[in-house]
């Protein structure tokens, strides 16, 4: 929805998404199919709508033992489809109006494919439409239901949000309804205004009645007075100036982000907002922290160490070295880096390692040759160190080649942590195959591993910058500069045990890290920030180590991206 929203907002169409509260937080199904369906339908809706809005809605149609049929609808305010054409649009190569197609492009296949996808998910698809008024495409599909606590949402005590007065300002009716429903579902007391001026008036009235709003949630682009002007007005008025403000932006205007930062806005979110995102932003904006509880919850995410192992990493690429080192050290392992095969054989001769991770292509001596050398030497001393190959291209013969050279197993690059730990566990005793971190999380989460694989979420950044590469460059450059400055501040304040300074430096760093979708780094900083409040020096030192490692990885990735672009 976020990426489609960008396109929608460029067309000045509001794209909203409403997921009814009764829809389970987690379902089991095929995300790729659902995604494709929504992209097809929302894509069509945007294609055939000149003005107005496109609204995606999800509800529960029925629920029975362990399964739910979800009803999705995509409604637009576009040109509509005449009655006599409504049945045929689902057939392949059918288009209502050929001349329109020349304008809009398209293959006439989208809906035929969509219908098939829906049928594969045990559902059906249909439409309602009136020419000149718009269309609603519906589909239903069957999903498994898992009874999992949405821990992200429940972690914070909801009672602190109860009866919290929130003002919602948005000129779009659908958005107001959606936001109102979300807020009410957390027990907050939302009041809505469709214009900024009206919102300001309500704020002053509420203050007069001694029931002020604690939070304003406002759209950015509104007629007459936009979200920034509203924030400015609020800030200028000493009586209401303290109210926290969260802006909803459409992401099609990169300069918005900067303006948000400058005008002291607590947070800005890209539309359409995800419920969990909004929740996090509210908690953060209001600085709701249950000191003890939160820190403890956060600490429980800290991986318990399996038996620390001594690992020799033979790898010539610095980024890959850093990635692998960060990954392994996070689980308490000690890593020694060899930059090529020759260094690897020399290091291995010390017998100081429990396992070797060996890149295949390396300068001076490649991984296959190094392995053969290590094995030859072992014949004379009678031991066998496990060697795991790391190969970039999982070509068919690679495995045989590796095994023939005396390796025990191989992992493909880029390294995925589950695969690596699984292989390590198989060859080295006491390395747990599933990280404890994941067990605590209660999710063998795709999101986590995907985030790891990428470390940085480039899609998010692209969305944020709207494809503006100059902006991206300066964002990265600023990020790098800021990160090194703040890292220094963090080091200094830890050395002096200046907790307040540590906390503010961590907080600032957290803000800029968020841009880059560097989830792991973000988590570490959150932990550090919490520890600054009440952790002991040992804990802080430990988190500092993870921070330095992970920041190294992120920084080197950003630097290489910057290089690629210039
Ligand atoms: P195409 O790739 O040509 O868009 P589809 O199968 O997705 O093929 O759609 C078939 C035809 O159905 C479109 O060409 C258009 O005439 C009509 N159509 C689909 N969605 C809409 C909509 N939301 N509003 C109006 N017409 C639509």
Q: Are 2 and 35 in contact (CB under 8 A)?
A: no
223: exposed, middle or buried (Cβ count in 10 Å: 0-12, 13-18, 19+): exposed
Contact 25, 295 (CB under 8 A): no
The β-bridge relationship of strands 124-130 and 67-76 is: unpaired
pLDDT given at position 444: 33
Tell me the average pLDDT across 498-514. Answer: 83
Distance CA 346, CA 337 (A): 12
Considering only CA atoms, which residue is closest to atom 4 of ligand 1?
A: 106
Residue 347: enclosing H or E segment and its boundaries?
helix 341-348
Residues 171 and 469: their CA atoms lie apart, in Å, by 31
Ligand 1 center to 129 CA (angstroms): 12
CA of 56 to the centre of ligand 1 (A): 17
Which pair of tokens denotes residue 207? 């203050």
Q: Is residue 362 a contact partner of residue 315, using CB atoms and an 8 Å limit? A: yes
- 3-class secondary structure for 68-129? EEEEEEEEECCCCCCHHHCCHHHCCCCCCCHHHHHHHCCCCCHHHHHHHHHHHCCCEEEEEE
Read off the pLDDT band of 156 (50, 70, 90): low
Q: Is the pLDDT of residue 448 over 60?
A: no
**Residue whose tokens read 């050290």:** 329
Q: How does DSSP classify residue 415?
A: P
Mutate to test the pocket of ligand 1, among 44, 86, 98 (most ligand atoms within 8 A of CB): 44
Can you spell out the DSSP letters for 259-321? HHHHTT-SEEEESSPPHHHHHHHHHHHTT---HHHHHHHHHTTSPPP-S--EEEEE---HHHH
Spacing, Cα 44 to ligand 1 middle (Å): 6
DSSP letters spanning 38-55: HHHHHHHHHHT-SSEEEE
Q: Specify the pairing of strand 355-359 against strand 189-193.
A: unpaired
The predicted pLDDT at position 112 comes to 86
**3-state secondary structure at position 29:** coil
Supply the residue whose CA is at minimum distance from atom 23 of ligand 1.
45
Q: pLDDT of 178-230, one tens digit each?
A: 999 899 888 889 999 999 999 999 999 999 988 899 999 999 989 889 999 99
CA distance 473 to 561: 9
Q: Which residue has the tokens 């180590």?
A: 545
Rounded Cα–Cα distance for residues 204 and 221 (Å): 22
DSSP strand pairing (134-145 vs 189-193): unpaired
Classified as helix, coil or strand, 517 is coil
Helix or strand run (H / E) with residue 538: helix 537-565
Pocket of ligand 1 (CB under 6 A): 44-45, 48, 76, 78-79, 81, 89, 94-97, 101, 106-112, 135
Spatial distance between the Cα atoms of 440 and 274, rounded to a whole number of angstroms: 24
Cα angle 139, 143, 144; round to 5:
170
32 or 307, which is more confident?
Answer: 32
Pull the structure tokens for residue 426: 């198989």
Q: What is the pLDDT of residue 305?
A: 36
Compute, in angstroms, the gap from residue 106 CA to the centroid of ligand 1: 8
Could you tell me the distance, in angstroms and rounded to a whole number, from the CA of residue 134 to the centre of ligand 1? 12
Q: Which of 110, 113, 127, 134 to mutate to test the pocket of ligand 1 (most atoms within 8 A of CB)?
A: 110
Among 95, 113, 118, name the best residue to mutate to test ligand 1's pocket (greatest count of ligand atoms within 8 A of Cβ): 95
Where helices occur in 136-189 by DSSP H, the ranges are 151-154, 173-185
Only one residue has tokens 């498994």, namely: 144
Q: Could you tell me the distance, in angstroms and rounded to a whole number, from the CA of residue 49 to the centre of ligand 1? A: 11
Residue 191 β-bridge partners: 167
To test the pocket of ligand 1, the residue of 45, 48, 52 to mutate (highest count of ligand atoms within 8 Å of its CB) is 48
More confident residue, 108 or 102: 108
Residue with CA closest to ligand 1 atom 7:
110
Q: What is the Cα–Cα distance from 122 to 139, expressed in whole angstroms?
A: 10
Instruction: Give the burial class of 521: count Cβ atoms within 10 A of its Cβ; 0-12 exposed, 13-18 middle, 19 or more buried.
Output: buried
Decide if pLDDT at 306 tops 70.
no
pLDDT digits (tens, 9 = 90+) for 370-384: 999 999 988 887 788
Strand (E) or helix (H) holding 57: strand 52-64
The pLDDT, as a whole number, for residue 24 is 87
Min mean pLDDT across 187-201, 272-286, 434-448, 548-562 is at 434-448
Which atom of ligand 1 approaches the CA of 80 most closely? 25
Q: How far is the CA of 30 from the centre of ligand 1 (A)?
A: 24
| Mean pLDDT in residue range 291-308 | 38
Cis peptide before 272 (omega within 30 of 0): yes
Mean pLDDT of the chain: 81
Closest-CA residue, ligand 1 atom 25, reads 80
d(CA 180, CA 12): 23
Count of beta carbons in the 10 Å neighbourhood of residue 396: 8
C-alpha to C-alpha distances, 1 to 126, 450, 455, nearest whole angstrom: 21, 19, 22
Q: Which residue is associated with the tokens 């900067």?
A: 258
* 1: number of Cβ within 10 Å: 18
How close is the Cα of 374 to the center of ligand 1, in Å?
Answer: 63
- The average pLDDT across 402-406 equals 82
Higher per-residue pLDDT: 430 or 174: 174
Tell me, in angstroms, the distance from the centre of ligand 1 to residue 271's CA: 25
Structure token digits, residue 111: 């809906």
pLDDT digits over 14-45, tens only? Answer: 999 999 888 888 889 988 889 889 988 999 99
DSSP 206: H
Q: Which domains does the chain have, with CATH numbers?
A: 2-145 (3.30.565.10), 159-286 (3.40.50.2300), 295-434 (3.40.50.2300), 450-565 (1.20.120.160)
């Amino acid at each position: 929805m976020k990426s489609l929203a960008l396109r929608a907002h460029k067309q000045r169409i509001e794209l909203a998404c409403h997921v009814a509260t009764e829809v389970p937080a987690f379902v089991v199904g095929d995300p790729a199919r659902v995604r494709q369906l929504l992209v097809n339908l929302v894509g069509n809706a945007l294609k055939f709508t000149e003005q107005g809005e496109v609204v995606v809605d999800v509800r529960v149609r029925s629920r029975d033992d362990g399964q739910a049929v979800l009803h999705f609808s995509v409604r637009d305010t576009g040109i509509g489809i005449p009655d006599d054409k409504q049945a045929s649009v689902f057939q392949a190569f059918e288009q209502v109006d050929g001349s329109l197609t020349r304008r809009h492009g398209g293959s006439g296949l989208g809906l035929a494919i969509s219908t098939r996808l829906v049928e594969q998910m045990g559902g059906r698809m249909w439409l309602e439409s009136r020419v000149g008024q718009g269309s609603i495409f519906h589909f239903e599909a069957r999903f498994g239901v898992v009874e999992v606590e949405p821990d992200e949402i429940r972690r914070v005590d909801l009672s602190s949000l109860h009866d919290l007065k929130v003002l919602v300002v948005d000129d779009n009716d659908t958005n107001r309804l959606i936001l109102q429903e979300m807020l009410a579902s957390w027990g907050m007391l939302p009041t809505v205004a469709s214009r900024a001026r009206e919102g300001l008036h309500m704020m002053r009235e509420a203050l007069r009645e001694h029931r002020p709003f604690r939070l304003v949630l406002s759209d950015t682009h509104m007629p007459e007075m936009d979200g920034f002007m509203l924030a400015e007005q609020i800030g200028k008025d000493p009586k209401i100036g303290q109210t926290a403000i969260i802006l909803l932006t459409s992401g099609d205007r990169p300069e918005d982000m900067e303006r948000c930062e400058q005008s002291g806005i607590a947070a800005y979110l890209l539309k359409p907002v995800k419920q969990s995102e909004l929740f996090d932003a509210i908690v953060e904006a209001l600085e709701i922290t249950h000191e003890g509880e939160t820190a403890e919850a956060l600490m429980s995410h800290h991986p318990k160490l399996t038996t620390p192992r001594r690992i020799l990493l033979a790898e010539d690429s610095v980024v890959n070295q850093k990635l692998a080192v960060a990954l392994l050290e996070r689980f308490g392992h000690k890593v020694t880096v060899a930059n090529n095969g020759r260094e690897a054989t020399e290091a291995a001769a010390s017998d100081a390692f429990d396992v070797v991770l060996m890149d295949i292509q390396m300068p001076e001596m490649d991984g296959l040759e190094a392995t053969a050398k290590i094995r030859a030497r072992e014949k004379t001393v009678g031991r066998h160190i496990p060697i795991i190959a790391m190969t970039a291209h999982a070509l068919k013969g690679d495995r045989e080649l590796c095994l023939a050279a005396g390796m025990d197993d191989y992992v493909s690059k880029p390294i995925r942590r589950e695969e690596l730990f699984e292989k390590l566990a198989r060859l080295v005793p006491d390395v747990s195959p599933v990280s404890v971190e994941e067990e605590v999380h209660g999710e063998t989460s795709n999101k986590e591993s995907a985030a790891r694989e990428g470390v940085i979420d480039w899609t998010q950044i692209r969305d944020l910058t709207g494809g503006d590469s100059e902006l991206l460059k300066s964002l990265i450059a600023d990020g790098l500069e800021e990160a090194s400055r703040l890292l220094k501040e963090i080091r200094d304040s830890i050395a002096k045990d200046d907790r307040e300074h540590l906390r503010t430096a961590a907080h600032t760093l957290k803000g800029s890290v968020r841009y880059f979708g560097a989830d792991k780094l973000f988590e570490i900083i959150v932990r550090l920030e919490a520890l600054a409040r009440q952790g002991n020096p040992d804990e802080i030192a430990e988190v500092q180590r993870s921070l330095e490692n992970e920041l190294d990885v992120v920084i080197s990735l950003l630097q290489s991206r910057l290089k690629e672009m210039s």
